[in-house]
Amino acid sequence: MATLLATSGGLAALAIYQWLELLEVRAGRTPSCAINATINCATVWDSPFAHNIHQYVGLPVAGLGVLWGIVGFVLSFLFIQRVRATGDGETFSGAVKVWALLGLLSCVTFVTASVQAKAVCLTCLGTYALVVGFAIAALRFIGGPAIPAGKDLMPGAGWGLVLTVPVYLGLLYPGSKTPMSTTPAVPVLDSHNPKDFGAIVDGMPEREKLTAAWARAQWKKAPAQDVSMFPVHALKGSPTAPMKVVEFSDILCGHCAQFETLFHEIEALAPAGSVSFEPRYYPLDGECNPDIKGTANDGVRCYAARLQICTEPHPKFFSIRAELFQNQEKLDLGLMLSIAKRHGVDEAALNTCMKSPETASRISEDLAYARRYAIEGTPLVLLNGKAAPPSPIFLMAMALSGGNPDSPILLKLPPAPVE
């Protein structure tokens, strides 16, 4: 019976750890469970499925793990105490079994979502193992049928509901304080007015101010690199813009898709001619990137990089790129090709370009460029030649201030957190 307590308690503790790691992801930092492109908990947590769970339930998936663990632990404790007191735990045995079955069903659902996200979450695997351990103890070692009979099924479900409601209500507060996306939304301005934005900064939550202050400090101390040997191939905006953004992306990177949306918002709010954007590519697949160990064997990441390189001269290149990211969750080679063709790209010319040595050389160029900044993952965002955390408040303030990190807007921020 101790297995029931150990597995449910262990799962609650693991889920709390996952929740803390999720907060790291939402702050724009890399969690310890993000190993590479495939073994990456952040990709799973940023999937549409996880987002929908948080939006409609009010708790992130990790919060549901905390709930399941706590309720499972309490049910197990009540069952064990009743057996010790009366020798008969029938009142709670059905509840424990119902809870175990619910846990197994949830695992199947979450595994399916992880497969669809094309990523593996190591801590999630630990969660599944603990749920299976709990289920084995509940369904095999507690007397009676593995699946409770009708007379035990309803009371068991009732006890689970009685305990779930107060635990769920108690978790809703921290759930409401957990951001649903990696970065907060860009503030809405009445016009391209730095004074208006400064007023918004004054009213921002302290956590967002500290995040922006940290991003400013990180950018100011980041070393500049000589990249004059890398010519500009595609540029959106004025080449003389005071704020020049270069982004290295991977087409299946969830944070890259978020940055794509973020930059569109900043671009719309910033004064005309103040921001330029240069896309670069760092596909997270060993098929075309020797920095990455292993390959997904689906060709999506490398195909997308080659397709974007070959469509850069096309007048609708940035629309093609945006649509690729919008369809990130269902991309395959056929869909990417159809998106390009829909925007008027010639298929024969595109295929020839993607197979050319020049395109392979361009990927090698981007990889060499990114290595100068000791790239660890995507997106790698460069602001005026220095690596910058993708904080929307910091980037927007830099755009409004003409790339001046010591502008009055940014001086409104508190001191950066001490690391």
The pLDDT of residue 364 is 97
**How far is Cα of residue 287 from the mean position of the Cα atoms in its chain?**
24
| C-alpha distance from residue 397 to each of 29, 262, 301, 309 (Å) | 20, 14, 33, 31
Tokens of 308: 């974007």
Highest mean pLDDT among 39-43, 292-296, 361-365: 361-365
| pLDDT score, position 160 | 74
Which residue would you say has higher pLDDT here, 345 or 51? 345
More confident residue, 51 or 352: 352
Q: Which pLDDT band, with edges at 50, 70 and 90, does 107 fall under?
A: very high
Q: State how far the alpha carbon of 230 is from the alpha carbons of 225, 366, 368, in Å.
A: 11, 8, 9
Q: Do domains 2-176 and 223-387 have the same CATH topology?
A: no
- Percent share of the chain, pLDDT over 70: 89
Domain limits of the chain? Answer: 2-176, 223-387
pTM of the model: 0.63
Measured distance CA(66)–CA(72) in Å, rounded: 10
Q: How many CB atoms lie within 10 A of CB 240?
A: 8
Domain spanning 223-387: CATH superfamily: Glutaredoxin (3.40.30.10)
**Alpha carbon distance 265, 325 (integer Å):** 15
State the pLDDT at residue 89. 59
Q: What is the pLDDT of residues 12-63, one digit of tens each?
A: 999 999 999 888 777 656 677 777 667 778 778 877 788 788 888 999 999 9
Q: Is 397 exposed, middle or buried (0-12, 13-18, 19+ CB in 10 A)?
A: buried
How far apart are alpha carbons 365 and 30 in whole angstroms? 25
Give the chain's end-to-end CA distance (angstroms, integer). Answer: 44
Mean pLDDT of 241-262: 92
Question: What tokens were used for 179?
Answer: 């951001």
How far CA 401 is from CA of 241, 275, 278, 297, 394, in Å, comes to: 12, 11, 20, 45, 11
d(CA 118, CA 296): 9
Tell me if 214 sits within 8 A of 389, measured CB to CB.
yes
Residue 204 predicted with pLDDT over 70: yes
Helix or strand (DSSP H, E) at 377: none
Residue-level pLDDT at 43: 77
pLDDT at 396: 85
Name the token pair of 21: 């790691």
61-78 pLDDT, tens digit each: 999 999 999 999 998 898
Do residues 38 and 294 touch, judged by C-beta distance below 8 A?
A: yes
Environment class of residue 169 by beta-carbon count within 10 Å: exposed (0-12), middle (13-18) or buried (19+)? exposed
Count of other CB atoms within 10 angstroms of residue 229:
9
Report d(CA 385, CA 178) in Å as an integer: 32
Show the DSSP H helices in 177-238 as ranges.
194-202, 206-221
Can you name the CATH fold of 2-176? de novo design (two linked rop proteins) (1.20.1440)
